[in-house]
Structure formats: structure tokens, C-alpha cells
Amino acid sequence: MKKALGFLVIVSFMFLLIIHTTDEVSAEGSARSDSESDWEWPVIGELTDHFGTRGGNHYGVDIAAPSGSEVRVVEDGTVKKSYYSTSYGHVVFVRHVNGLETVYAHLSERLVPKGKQVKRGTIIGTVGNTGNSHGNHLHFEVHEGEWNAHKTKAVDPVVYFDQTLERVTVEAETIETASTMKSNKSEVTVQKGDTLWGIANEYGVTVDTIKEWNHLKTDLIVVGQTLNVLK
Ligand SMILES: [Zn+2]
């Protein structure tokens, strides 16, 4: 009887040990997926058109920026295509480890060849107005799988920046309460369609200055967010 009890204790102990280990693994797993969704915004500019517009025929987002602005890869991957297309103009396709594909179109120049390994933040080209484009902008697409001509796997790219958006919001709130700014500071509330680039222009400063004032780590802002500015 004593022996059986001892055995039971050992079994239960092992069971607890297993549960504990599983917990740790899942905690690590979620931490990893957090960092995966922390994408780098491909270009500093003004969001001029959203996903799903033009009668559902716009399969990406448009970010207007001056010609020659650096275009960066949002996440590590491999260049799948780098060529000139009559519609996309100079375009770069990047395949990512998680099976996603991102597309960077209307570039003025492409700086990476097919097959090149790229890291999050690698400059793959510059903003332009090539192909079927009216004005300098980056047309950016995200596909949950391989790109196809009907773009059946295209998704709203904004979804992939959500985690970053949340983090920026939290940081902005923390800063508001711990603000050390002087009396000539004022606040702007981010409206729909606003970009850091646009707000910086309005106050005659650079995007980096606005980011510095608000301790922002990315170029993303969200509607309703309060930003500190100096007049
Ligand atoms: Zn577009």
C-alpha cells in the first residue's frame, strides 16, 4: 500500500513537471510570434489609398513619398522577383519564411536582384512613378501565400502592423503622463488620413524630430493618438 502511494506521488509529480514545461514552451512561442508581426513600415510617407478601394480592385496600400525615398523590406526574406512590369513598373517581390509574400511597386529603381536574401529593413529600391502610376508613391501588397494574377491571397497590409500600432499607442500614453516638455508645447490628435510625414510638414520639422519629441520607435501613428509638438 505504501509502495503504491509512493508511486502515485511520483506520477503526479511528473505530471506537474510536464504541465510546467508545456507552459514555458507556449509562453516562448507567443513571444516569438509577437516579434514576427513587428514589421518595419516600408517607406516614410503619406497613406493615400487603402486596401479594397476602386471597387475592390485595389489589392494593396499606396504610400505617397518623394521620388528617391528609400523603400525597405518589412521582414526577413528572399527576393523572388525583381523586374519591370507595364502595370507595376519596377517591382520587387519578397518571399518570407512564414509563407507570406510582399510586393513593392512603381519603384524608380530596384536595388536587389532575384534570389537575394534580405533582412527586415534592407533597402530594396526607391520610390518612383513607373508603370501604371500617377505620382510618386509606393504601392505595397501583402499575400498570404504565393502571389497570383487574380490576387486571391491578398490581404490588407495594415493588419500586419497592428502589434506595432498598439505598442506605439501605449508608448505615447506613457509619454503624455511623464512629459517633460516646456510651456510652448502643444498637442495634436491624430485624425484619419494623418501621417507623421504630414504632421511634420505642418510644423515645419522632420519626421525624426516628431519621433524624438514623442519617443516613437516607428513611423506609424494611429487615429486618436495624441502627439506632442513644439510650436
Ligand atoms: Zn496602389
213 C-alpha vs ligand 1 centroid, how far in Å? 31
What is the chain's pLDDT, residue by residue, as a tens digit (231 residues)?
A: 556 655 555 555 554 444 444 333 333 333 334 444 578 889 999 889 999 998 989 999 999 999 999 999 999 999 999 999 999 999 999 999 889 999 999 999 999 999 999 999 999 999 999 999 999 999 999 999 999 999 999 999 988 875 544 444 444 455 444 443 444 567 788 877 788 888 887 777 778 877 777 777 777 777 777 787 776
Global confidence as pTM: 0.58
141 C-alpha vs ligand 1 centroid, how far in Å? 8
136 C-alpha vs ligand 1 centroid, how far in Å? 11
Kindly state the DSSP code that residue 31 receives in the 8-state scheme: H
Q: Cα-atom radius of gyration of the chain, to the nearest Å?
A: 23
Domains of the chain: 46-165 (2.70.70.10), 183-230 (3.10.350.10)
Please name which of 50, 51, 46, 125 lies closest in space to residue 89, comparing C-alpha atoms.
125
89 C-alpha vs ligand 1 centroid, how far in Å? 12
39 C-alpha vs ligand 1 centroid, how far in Å? 19
Please name which of 152, 25, 37, 45 lies closest in space to residue 104, comparing C-alpha atoms.
45
Please name which of 171, 195, 169 lies closest in space to residue 61, comparing C-alpha atoms.
195
47 C-alpha vs ligand 1 centroid, how far in Å? 10
The predicted pLDDT at position 164 comes to 47
| Alpha carbons 223 and 206: distance in angstroms, whole number | 20
153 C-alpha vs ligand 1 centroid, how far in Å? 16
63 C-alpha vs ligand 1 centroid, how far in Å? 8
Which residue is it, cell 493618438? 225
140 C-alpha vs ligand 1 centroid, how far in Å? 7
